[in-house]
A and B are shown apart, each in its own frame.
Chain A
Amino acid sequence: MLKLNPTILVFIMLGIGIETSFVRSVILNGVIALISLIYLLLQRPNLKIVGLMLIISIPVAFGTWWSFIAFGTGDTHHLALVYATRLYAYLLLGAAVTLTVNVKDLLFSLNQHAKLSNTFTYGLLAAFNLVPRVRRQVQIIRYAGALRGITYHLWQPQIYFKAILSALHWSDDLAIAMTSHGFSEGFPRTQTVQEHLPKWQWGLVCLLILAYLLTAIIIKPW
């Protein structure tokens, strides 16, 4: 089964994604969305999440479509469809990366093939492991306020301030912990796992981005 390297997926996502922003074509949006969806399904993702993602996006896509019908100029029906389908092109392009690769593999792959520095790779990895703690901390901040009869609103600085305090403490602690476990900033590391990236996959990136560009410029699909 075809499985692309995470780095390759990111480059395809960004390259095609940027092009999509400037090309107003329903057909191309549809093709991007379809190819992404097929690739996504081939990787056997959690179908519940894929379904939920598609369902949640329906009202937003509908809102987009409707806003161009209501406020658009020019060929509003075509434009409304362009921007509604573009939303799905983006959504599925992103999902083809985020739902098929986990954070750790993605970071290690970018570290080896895209020159993401060790500091960023391992720093980000450390931070991502704190996601459950961050969720709990936000609850704790809320409850601690509620005990004193204070509700923190999102338009007041306090809740962000408290979050930043936690982040400052945690990042210091984590950095010290990593250093004392032998992580050396700015020094070369030995790699225990060498991830293989065949050259043809880089070719695929160039091919896809070029093919999209040429199709958009020369054929100008509807």
Chain B
Amino acid sequence: MQTVTESKVKWLLRDVIFLAIIAIFFGVIFEVWSAAYYAVAATPLKPYANDLTLGVWLMAGPLAGAILQKVGSSTIGEVLAAAVEMLLFSSWGAANLISGFVQGIGTELGFAATGYKNWDKLGISLSVLTTTIVTFIWDLFNSGYADYKPSLMITLFIIRLISAGFFGGVLVYFIKKLVAKSGLLKR
């Protein structure tokens, strides 16, 4: 017997598959980026490379939030992306999954601050801000940013905000607009 309950189950099968496929797509697209990252990461400029490219890794979270518009979609979207990365592509190992969770929670907070009502400019902007702060606090411990000189810490924070703002904010906003215009979201 075929049994489908559309309303009761919060996370539908197609949502889960959708997020996972998005995560795989992003993983494949970003393989191109990692070459550039590795080139810079081999020098003392590594923290700059980290923060400059951070926005790219962040994108899956806000995008999942803005498109699926569900409580928890940013966190789950980001964790899935991190899991896919860890299983298929990454050289970060265990750190991947943990920082994916931190990034997801960071993004989630921004949307939660609007009471999960605004998934547009305001929600996305807030999520950029919260995820920048949350991930930076995490990196104070995890990547040892707390042991850098204060001037470098401030510079890194600003670079991170710009990177997250562009990739996790502006770019996500325009992608969402394109998807909305295609009319495919009302499914």
Contact = CB atoms under 8 A, between A and B. Distances in A.
A22 B137 CA distance: 12
A68 interface: yes
Contacts of A166: 21, 25
B149 to A, nearest CB: 6
Contacts of B2: 179-180, 182, 184
Contact of A124 (B16, B38, B59, B141): B16
Interface string A145-164: 00000000011011111011
Contacts of A67: 44-47, 148
Contacts of A182: 2
Nearest to B76: A120
Interface stretch (B4-12, B103-111, B122-130): B4-12
A72 B118 CA distance: 41
Interface stretch (A170-178, A192-200, A205-213, A214-222): A170-178
B44 A186 contact: no
Given A21-B98, A157-B178, A163-B29, A71 B17 contact: no
Contacts of A130: 21, 24
Contacts of B41: 59-60, 63
Given A98-B87, A123-B20, A174-B14, A74 B93 contact: no
Contacts of B22: 163-164, 167
Majority DSSP secondary structure for residues of B touching A: helix
Given A71-B149, A72-B148, A163-B29, A187 B3 contact: yes
Contacts, number: 218
A136 B41 CA distance: 29
Q: How large is the interface on A (under 10, 10 to 19, 20 to 34, 35 or more residues)?
A: 35 or more
A34 interface: no
B92 A90 contact: yes
Contacts of A27: none
B87 A135 contact: no
B154 interface: no
B21 A170 contact: yes
Nearest to A72: B147
A41 interface: no
Contacts of B143: 83
Q: Which of B17, B18, B138 has the most CB of A within 10 A?
A: B17
A2 interface: no
A95 B40 CA distance: 24
B14 A21 contact: no
Most A CB atoms within 10 A — which of B2, B46, B59, B92?
B46
A56 B163 CA distance: 25
Contacts of A70: 44
Interface string A99-129: 0000100000000000001011011101110
Contacts of A59: 38, 41-42
B11 to A, nearest CB: 6
A62 B71 CA distance: 41
B5 A185 contact: yes
A79 B87 contact: no
Given A94-B97, A161-B182, A164-B67, 6 more contacts: A62-B42, A63-B43, A68-B148, A71-B149, A137-B25, A164-B63
18 contacts: A17-B97, A57-B91, A63-B49, A66-B43, A68-B144, A71-B47, A71-B149, A82-B144, A95-B93, A119-B12, A123-B13, A124-B20, A127-B21, A128-B24, A154-B56, A160-B171, A163-B25, A168-B18
Minimum-distance CB pairs A-B, first 4: A94-B93, A127-B20, A123-B16, A59-B42
